[in-house]
A and B are shown apart, each in its own frame.
Chain A
Amino acid sequence: MHVFLTITGRDLKLAFRRWSEFANPLLFFVVVTSLFPLALSPEQALLQSVGAGVLWVAALLSSLLALEGLFRGDVEDGSMEQILLSPAPFGIVVIAKIAAHWLVSGIPLIVLVPVVAMSFQLPTAALATLAAALLLAMPTLSVLSAIGAALTVSLRSGGSIIGLLVLPLCAPMLIFGTRATDMAANGEAVAAPLYLLAALAVFAVSLGPLAVAAALRVGLE
């Protein structure tokens, strides 16, 4: 627990001192979502029907953008090697780093998305579900992207590959997330997709860090 808090605290401190790094993906999200009405048509009915999907895909892409640097800085300045050599269990370190990243990139997105959703004329009833679904989906997304980031950590340009590796794995999350939002907009019961999102999150958080740790170990060899 001590290790977890130390690493999380350190990463949060680093993130807040370079705030533009976590602000950029959020700006990217806002820009991408505002391009859609321009590209499709500003018709209210259309925006309402595609809104949930657009928001989810944009959130997915923007968080991918953020995750390339998740381990890179630490690997390049050598601190990751020191952490690996320390007696601290590496799995805990990985979970701590993912958690810190989730706090600085996931939480602001959860606040931001419902605001943007209103501009897409999504019914107010769906906003709470949207936020809840995002809250449940973000840990899964963070873990999956962390796997992508860890696999490509020793590559000079991993950015374009991460998307190819991670996005197919994100399909289940995207399906349940958009479905929950759509069902809430239609006034249906949304418990089932939310439960499934929660199940995915538990699954990803419990098994994912093992894969991340293994990939980082190989990457640092």
Chain B
Amino acid sequence: MKLPRWFHRFGSAPYVYGLAGLLSPWVGGIAVLLIAAGTYGGLVLAPADYLQGDSFRIIYIHVPSAYVSMMAYVILAVAAAIGFIWRLKLAHAVAVSIAPIGASFTFLALATGAIWGKPTWGTFWQWTDPRIMFELLLLFLYLGYMALRAAFEDRDKADRVSAILGVVGVVNVPIIHYSVIWWNSLHQGPTIARLDGPTITLDMLAPLLIMIAGFTFCFAWLLLSRLQGEIVRREYATRWLRELLAGSPG
């Protein structure tokens, strides 16, 4: 099978650098609009929860960041696998750029979860909740990936070794996920009111979906600009980049 020409272009650093620069303001703009709309909808339009009052509104940060943290790890692993198998340097660059973003969103999910946990569960940290444990382990996976990369001086080797770790990690993510759930189910179930008790109404759900879309675009935006930085770091000795950087003001 012959791959179309546009596909091969993704292996070229100048093309991807230019494309990222071109897309970045659009993606960033959409992210800002969606997050602004979702924030307004979540903080103003959505009714207060009859059980949790206004404190439930942190869900509009918490759920999207948890969602992005997991999605980012899968994309990281897929990019790393593509880079490892076809030796595509740009795929490795994508994986490297994702790691700190994913770790930040994971941390954000944990932090907002803790802040939310205080008024609803009475504690910042609830060891029995499987989702907290899963996010914590996911954070460790991100940090391990970054620590492994940082330990290598040779970038090529760091790329390939950390790609293996990424793939091993993503195979383990579902196992960790279900084992953590199973672990919890053996304890006495926590008899605390959860959000899934009352069914979520549309006025609450719509801003949440908008926020999830906004966070996804925000993730893409951060990824694009980090990818540009990563390409500059990798290609700083090449002619096209020098010419490009010399040509552009600033």
Contacts and interface: CB of A to CB of B under 8 A. Distances in A.
A176 interface: yes
B200 interface: no
A211 B168 contact: yes
A64 B78 CA distance: 28
Contact of A151 (B140, B165, B175): B165
B148 interface: yes
B186 A215 contact: no
A176 B160 CA distance: 32
A168 interface: yes
Contact of A200 (B140, B175, B183): B175
A151 B152 CA distance: 11
Interface string B147-189: 1100110000100110011011101100110011011001000
A152 B148 contact: yes
Interface string A156-190: 00100100110111011001100100010000000
Contacts of B182: 175-176, 196
Contact of A164 (B143, B167, B179): B143
Interface string A200-217: 100100010001001100
A49 to B, nearest CB: 13
A89 interface: no
B141 interface: yes
Contacts of A167: 140
B59 interface: no
Contacts of A168: 137, 140-141, 144, 176
A218 interface: yes
A179 B175 contact: no
Contacts, number: 75
A219 interface: yes
Contact of B183 (A158, A175, A183): A175
Contact of A211 (B140, B148, B152, B164): B164
A219 B161 CA distance: 8
A176 B168 CA distance: 20
Interface residues of B, number: 28
B179 A171 contact: yes
Contacts of B180: 171-172, 175
Nearest to A155: B151
Contacts of A176: 179, 182
B176 A218 contact: no
Contact of B148 (A165, A200, A214): A165
A154 interface: yes
Contacts of A171: 133, 137, 176, 179-180
Given A200-B175, A211-B167, A214-B84, 8 more contacts: A147-B165, A168-B137, A168-B140, A169-B176, A175-B179, A175-B183, A179-B183, A219-B161
25 contacts: A147-B165, A147-B168, A151-B148, A155-B151, A161-B144, A164-B144, A165-B144, A165-B148, A168-B137, A168-B140, A168-B144, A169-B168, A169-B176, A171-B133, A171-B176, A171-B180, A175-B179, A175-B182, A175-B183, A176-B179, A179-B186, A196-B179, A214-B84, A218-B161, A219-B161
Smallest CB-CB A-B distances: 5 pairs: A172-B179, A168-B140, A175-B183, A164-B144, A218-B160
